[in-house]
Amino acid sequence: MNTNNPIPAFGLGTFRLKGQVVIDSVKNGLDVGYRAIDTAQIYGNEAEVGQAIAESGVARHSLFITTKIWTDNYAKSKLVPSLKESLAKLRITQVDLTLIHWPSPGNAVPVAEFMGALAEAKAQGLTKHIGVSNFNIALMKEAIAAVGAQNIATNQIELHPYLQNRKVAEFAKSAGIHITSYMTLAYGKVLGDPVVEAIAKARNATAAQVVLAWAMQLGYAVIPSSTKRENLEGNLKALQLKLTDAEMAQIAALDRNERLTDPAGLSPAWD
């Protein structure tokens, strides 16, 4: 892990959650013990996340809040103002982590420009840490050239047993950049996997706990989402689960390069 950027191993994702659904999810999550919340400008739920945090009674200093800048706001003139809007919606004066959400479509805004603007946001105290999301190795190299690897807290990427993204993860590790796994449960697809189910049964755990524990044991942060309080509680118990080397190897063997998020016009040339 990049020691300058202590990203919590376990957080609560809010992708696809809107309105009262996201308010309830965040409130329940905070109530059962989550302290890291992940949102994004494009999710259209920053205001609701901010409301849930404000109403939860959990002290701001106890929380780690992440948001992501959308592609429309990458230009130097737009990035900082857009982050200030996000802060207003979230009802806070500083986020803990701000990410570039996807590479700039068609390289319309150069990496050096938006990373420079993100570094300026950090210098202004709008965000404690900065990072990237959905970057391949070539883009990570550009980001490192722009601001230095020590200033890139994480690369948040799709990573689950069916897509283990080893090349990107290994490069990030070699540069001291932390990996955050999103879609760790592959939209629930891996929960019915016979290998995962067998490990879960043997360990008296849920399939979700097994997969989340696997990712964290590899050193990745995870940000699963759920609208059900019992699932939120159950997922959190993955922090207590330690898999054996044999179990880790069984899950490692499930990799089949199955990518579930590949939006045309946004995705880079994946490694």
- Across the beta sheet with 95-100, what order do the strands follow? 12-13, 36-38, 64-69, 95-100, 127-133, 154-158, 178-182, 221-222
DSSP string for 230-248: HHHHHHHGGGG----HHHH
182 is catalytic: no
CA 242, CA 245: separation in Å to the nearest integer? 10
- Is residue 178 a known part of a binding site? no
Q: Which two tokens stand for residue 16?
A: 């696809």
114: which 2 tokens?
């938006």
Residues 229/97, Cβ–Cβ less than 8 Å: no
Helix axes of 137-147 and 166-175: crossing angle, nearest 10 degrees: 20
Residues composing the chain: 271
Q: Choose, from 43, 74, 162, 220, the residue flagged as catalytic.
A: 43
Are 154 and 182 a contacting pair, CB within 8 Å? no
Q: Which residues are catalytic?
A: 43
Known binding positions for substrate: 101
Tell me the binding residues. 101
